């Protein structure tokens, strides 16, 4: 087992009184895609900045490729890290090609043909036809693609993407996820930061949920689901009456819908067997809790504990 590509050990960052990030422990292996979720101000961007080495941790340790990223000695690693910031607007008066050539030159100074690499990257993100146009004429989606092209320079080993799919149309979003899958298969690690939860779950290996600088949950979606103990939703048709008669099943019955059962994950198979054996069953749908529900769960639990703390405080 090789050492992780990124590791944070009790790493935190505070700006004066404000605790932007509280003692975070996490690690990211090669070829792993981590989804980083949280509200605005949850500390997502702070964590990215720590990993990028733009800021230094107030306490704890951050290591990227075996080195502290804020050290000067770690600079050669920066060629191998790609970053897409949230809300970046590139030099408006330059053309897309000029912008990207500039960034390629800065990222790989030894590259003799930076223009060629820039053209290839722009083709990869699908804005070939606009490379000679000024960035100010670009749509939101095209700007986002330009930003992605910039992050993909040098086939990075580590990619940090802040809200990568904002402004992308569904086709472009699919293209983007395809690229992420492709990078993953070549051994790159990706940290995906997002509010937009649907669509992202098939592409991430693990999810990390942050709220007000605290780590609420970290693990595979399966593990998080288990931890959250969210019920599996089973919808059936044709057996409403039979369910209502069954005392074991009525306890799971949703009080809104007579054909919907909310079953704890460990009871799922048992209940399913029961349902399948019922006569008159026409159709059955099973829905496990999705990422959004898991996310909501952790956030609301966190908010409840915060409230309880506030109420309990003597002041």
Partner 1 sequence: MHQIFTVANKEFHDGLRNRWLVAITLIFALLSTGLTYFGAAASGAVGVASLSTTLASLASLSALLIPLIALLLSYDSFVGEQESGTLLLLLTYPLSKSQLLLGKFIGQGGIITLAILVGFGVPAMILYGQLGDLNILNTFGLFIISATLLGLSFTAISYVISLSVAEKSKAVGFSLMTWFLFSLAFDLVLLALLVGVEEAITPQGLIQLLMLNPTDIFRLVNFIGLDNRNVSGVLSIATNASLSYTSLFLALIAWVIIPLALAIFIFKKKTL
Interacting residues toward partner 1 by CB under 8 A: 15, 49, 52-55, 72, 75-76, 78-79, 81, 83, 85-91, 93-94, 102-103, 105-107, 109, 150
Terminal-to-terminal C-alpha distance of the chain: 51
Q: Which is nearer to partner 1, 2 or 87 (CB)?
A: 87
DSSP state string for 247-291: HHHHTTB-SS-TTEEEE-GGGHHHHHHHHHTSTT--EEEEE---H
Min CB(82)–partner 1 separation in Å? 9
Q: Which is nearer to partner 1, 59 or 91 (CB)?
A: 91
Output DSSP code: residue 2: P
Q: Which is nearer to partner 1, 105 or 115 (CB)?
A: 105
Min CB(114)–partner 1 separation in Å? 9
Tell me how far apart the alpha carbons of residues 29 and 6 are, in angstroms, rounded to a whole number. Answer: 7
Q: Which is nearer to partner 1, 102 or 212 (CB)?
A: 102
Min CB(122)–partner 1 separation in Å? 17
The answer to whether the Cα torsion of 87, 13, 44, 211 is positive or negative is negative
Min CB(156)–partner 1 separation in Å? 11
Encoded tokens for 50: 């720590």
The residue with tokens 């069953």 is 281
Min CB(78)–partner 1 separation in Å? 4
Q: Which is nearer to partner 1, 104 or 233 (CB)?
A: 104
Output DSSP code: residue 3: P
């Amino acid at each position: 087992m090789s050492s992780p590509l990124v590791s944070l050990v009790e790493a935190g960052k505070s700006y004066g009184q404000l605790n932007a990030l509280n003692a975070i422990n996490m690690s990211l292996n090669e070829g792993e895609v981590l989804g980083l979720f949280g509200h605005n101000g949850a500390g997502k961007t702070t964590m990215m900045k720590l990993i990028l080495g733009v800021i230094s941790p107030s306490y704890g340790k951050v290591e990227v490729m075996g080195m502290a990223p804020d050290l000067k000695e770690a600079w050669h690693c920066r060629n191998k890290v790609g970053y897409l910031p949230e809300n970046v607007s590139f030099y408006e008066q330059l053309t897309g090609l000029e912008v990207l050539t500039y960034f390629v030159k800065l990222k790989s100074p030894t590259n003799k043909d930076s223009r060629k690499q820039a053209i290839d990257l722009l083709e990869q993100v699908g804005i070939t036809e606009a490379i000679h146009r000024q960035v100010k004429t670009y749509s939101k989606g095209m700007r986002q693609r330009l930003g992605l092209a910039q992050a993909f320079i040098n086939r990075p080993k580590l990619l940090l993407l802040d809200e990568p799919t904002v402004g992308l149309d569904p086709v472009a979003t699919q293209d983007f996820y395809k690229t992420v899958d492709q990078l993953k298969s070549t051994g790159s690690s990706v940290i995906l930061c997002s509010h937009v939860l649907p669509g992202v779950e098939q592409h991430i290996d693990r999810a990390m949920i942050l709220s007000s600088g605290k780590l609420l949950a970290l693990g595979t979606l399966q593990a998080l689901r288990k931890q959250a103990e969210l019920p599996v939703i089973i919808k059936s048709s044709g057996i409403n009456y039979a369910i209502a008669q069954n005392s074991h099943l009525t306890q799971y019955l949703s009080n809104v819908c007579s054909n919907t059962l909310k079953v704890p994950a460990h009871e799922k198979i048992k209940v399913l067997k029961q349902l399948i054996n019922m006569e008159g069953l026409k159709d059955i749908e099973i829905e496990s809790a999705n990422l959004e529900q898991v996310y909501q769960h952790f956030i609301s639990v966190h908010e409840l504990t915060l409230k309880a703390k506030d109420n309990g405080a003597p002041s």
